[in-house]
């Protein structure tokens, strides 16, 4: 039996340096300036995977508990949205934050990049591809996507019927 899954694509984001490095089969193929979650809305550290992709999503702060009309409220058309957590973290086009990409974290937890870079990554990635984050104090949880990747094998196995 031979199974082919395609190239290994990994996007590694360092929230402290505001850079995403994209690898294909272990070789760097792109470096993208990004913005991630600002204080109070930090992006979670850890290994995530592409859960789904949508070419367009209307993102509203109310869906993640931000009160409408508050200073953090938003209602935005978003293109090239690649979901990486069930709680609402995406990698997506954020043309409104291009001036901060590569230098500051200004989002509500998503990873924003230029429309051109988001389109490139959207077309490059597939469900299950790895998207890893470093550089924040907030940690990925086991149930917020495919968080299993963040457990040690010993801890993971304790939840198994085989242990």
Active centre residues (catalytic): 92, 110
H/E stretch holding 153: helix 153-158
Within 10 A of 70 (CB to CB), how many other CB atoms are there? 10
Half-sphere exposure of 83 (CA within 13 A, CB side): 15
- Strands (DSSP E) contained in 61-109 are 75-83, 90-93
Half-sphere exposure of 53 (CA within 13 A, CB side): 17
The CA–CA distances, whole Å, from 42 to 3, 110, 139, 148 equal: 38, 9, 9, 20
* Residue 31 backbone phi and psi in degrees, to 5: -125, 125
Tokens standing for 130?
């790895």
């Amino acid at each position: 039996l031979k199974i082919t899954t395609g190239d290994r694509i990994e996007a590694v984001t360092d929230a402290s340096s505001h850079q995403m490095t994209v690898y294909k089969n272990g070789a760097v193929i792109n470096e993208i300036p990004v913005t991630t979650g600002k204080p109070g809305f930090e992006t979670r550290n850890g290994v995530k995977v592409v859960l789904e992709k949508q070419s367009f999503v209307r993102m509203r702060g109310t869906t993640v508990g931000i009160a409408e009309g508050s200073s953090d409220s938003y209602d935005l058309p978003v293109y090239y949205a690649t979901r990486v957590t069930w709680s609402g973290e995406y990698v997506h086009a954020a043309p409104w934050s291009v001036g901060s990409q590569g230098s500051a974290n200004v989002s509500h937890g998503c990873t924003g990049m230029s429309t051109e870079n988001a389109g490139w990554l959207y077309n490059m990635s597939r469900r299950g591809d790895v998207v890893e984050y470093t550089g924040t104090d907030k940690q990925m949880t086991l149930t917020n996507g495919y968080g299993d990747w963040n457990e040690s094998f010993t801890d993971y196995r304790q939840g198994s019927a085989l242990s």
